């Protein structure tokens, strides 16, 4: 009886593991299955924009062109940046089949340093959103007065200056 109680959980574990494995594997019928990606019904001209190196306060906008490649209207239900420094502007009206629209992305170029951000575009009736990427480096402007330069006063060293 003790042996039966000890073996019963093992049998149950094997049964569950086999059931899970067979549920996740597709049935093979002798034909080769290939993974195909369904046409989402839209196409971007690019999904990444490199700002390169830009000066602080430089041109903050980039554009992504979106074309409706389906035979149905396409509606952008939402577009949002990965943080508050990345703000997309997108059309709110339905996009007709074959029509191309522009999604403008504004990055706050007053933030100095490298950046990598993304914009998530969600479509009505689509399960998977589109992800757009922006990246670059914002460079601080050169100082307007050279340091130290001609006519500049000596730095305070903590020792009094004798003006006699």
Domain-located, residue 163:
no
Domain-located, residue 17:
no
Identify the CATH number of the domain in which residue 125 sits.
2.60.40.10
**pTM for this prediction:** 0.65
Q: What's the pLDDT at 26?
A: 42
Q: CA dist 19 to 11, 25, 139, Å?
A: 12, 10, 57
The count of structural domains within the chain is: 1
Q: CA dist 53 to 39, 81, 142, 145, 163, Å?
A: 35, 21, 14, 23, 48
Domain-located, residue 16:
no
Q: What's the pLDDT at 141?
A: 85
Q: Give per-10-residue mean pLDDT for the chain (164 aa).
A: 50 43 42 58 97 94 97 97 96 97 97 97 96 96 61 53 53
| Closest alpha carbon to 107 in 78, 121, 87 | 87
Do the beta carbons of residue 78 and residue 41 sit within 8 Å?
no
Domain-located, residue 128:
yes
Domain-located, residue 122:
yes
Domain-located, residue 101:
yes
Q: Can you list the positions of beta strands (E) in 95-129? A: 100-107, 113-123
Domain-located, residue 132:
yes
Domain-located, residue 6:
no
| Domain span holding position 107 | 42-139
């Amino acid at each position: 009886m003790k042996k039966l109680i000890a073996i019963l959980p093992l049998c149950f574990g094997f049964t569950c593991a086999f059931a899970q494995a067979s549920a996740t594997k597709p049935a093979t019928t002798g034909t080769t299955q290939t993974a195909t990606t369904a046409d989402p019904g839209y196409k971007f001209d690019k999904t990444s924009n490199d700002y390169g190196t830009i000066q602080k306060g430089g041109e903050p906008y980039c554009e992504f062109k979106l074309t409706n490649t389906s035979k149905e209207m396409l509606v952008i239900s939402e577009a949002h940046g990965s943080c508050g420094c990345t703000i997309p502007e997108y059309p709110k009206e339905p996009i007709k089949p074959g029509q191309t629209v522009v999604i403008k992305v504004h990055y706050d170029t007053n933030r100095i340093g490298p950046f990598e951000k993304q914009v998530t575009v969600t479509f009505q009736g689509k399960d998977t959103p589109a992800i757009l990427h922006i990246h670059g480096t914002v460079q601080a402007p050169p100082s307007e007065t050279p340091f130290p330069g001609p006519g500049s006063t000596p730095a305070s060293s903590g020792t009094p200056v004798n003006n006699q």
